[in-house]
Structure formats: C-alpha cells, structure tokens
C-alpha cells in the first residue's frame, strides 16, 4: 500500500524527492508528507485528489486504511508543539510535589 501512494504522489508532485510515505498503526494508517508547494496538489480541489487516493488505497488493501497528508513544515511544526507540551507537563510539579516543597 505504501508503494501505491508513493507512486501516485511522486507522479503528481513538482518535487518528487520530497515525497515521504510512512506506515503506522500496523499498516492501518499511512502518513504522506510532501513539500509545501505540493500540498495543494495532493489534496486537490475540494479534496478530490486526496479522496481518490484514499479510495484506491482501500480497494488495493481490501480494508480500511487511513491516509494523512501533510507538508514537511506542518508536520515539523506539529511535532515541535507536541514536544513543547510534553516538556511543559514534565516541568510542572504535581500538586503533591508542590505541597512537599511548601512544608
């Protein structure tokens, strides 16, 4: 399934070297990352290209497979905000720790 999406995306993209497809959740989800300039091409008008890729993917797989489409910069930004949130949670002491420090 990964090869199918990779083939389609590379043929649609202006920057085919920037296409990256990864499998997650035991092959139940594919993550497609493309250059910022190619994101619109992957989604298409009213999402038609993305929906067509999802339909072909599900027919080839014979089961439901989710396809997430991102640009490299959006994915990096989201991962960065997730890392910042995790760091904040780890740096904020719990209520029990705060009470011990006050004693």
Confidence at 54, pLDDT banded by 50, 70, 90:
very high
CB atoms within 10 A of CB 38: 21
Tell me the HSE value of 68 on the side-chain side, using a 13 A CA sphere: 15
Which residue segments constitute the domains of the chain, with CATH numbers given?
Answer: 2-91 (3.30.300.20)
Average pLDDT, integer, range 55-78: 88
- Identify the pLDDT of residue 72: 83
Question: Which pTM does this prediction carry?
Answer: 0.71
pLDDT in tens, 7-39: 999 999 999 999 999 998 888 999 999 999 999
**64 contacts 2 by C-beta, under 8 angstroms:** no
Distance CA 47, CA 24 (A): 22
41 Cα distance to chain centroid: 16
What does DSSP say about strands 29-34 and 66-71: parallel, antiparallel, or unpaired?
A: parallel
Closest to 34 measured CA to CA, from 48, 44, 46, 24: 44
């Amino acid at each position: 399934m990964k090869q199918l999406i990779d083939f389609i995306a590379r043929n649609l993209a202006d920057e085919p070297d920037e296409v990256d497809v990864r499998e997650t959740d035991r092959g139940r989800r594919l993550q497609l990352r493309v250059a910022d300039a190619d994101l619109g091409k992957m989604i298409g008008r009213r999402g038609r290209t993305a929906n067509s890729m999802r339909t072909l993917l599900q027919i080839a797989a014979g089961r439901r497979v989710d396809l997430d489409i991102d640009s490299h910069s959006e994915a990096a930004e989201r991962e960065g905000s997730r890392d910042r949130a995790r760091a904040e949670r780890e740096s904020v002491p719990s209520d029990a720790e705060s009470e011990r420090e006050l004693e």
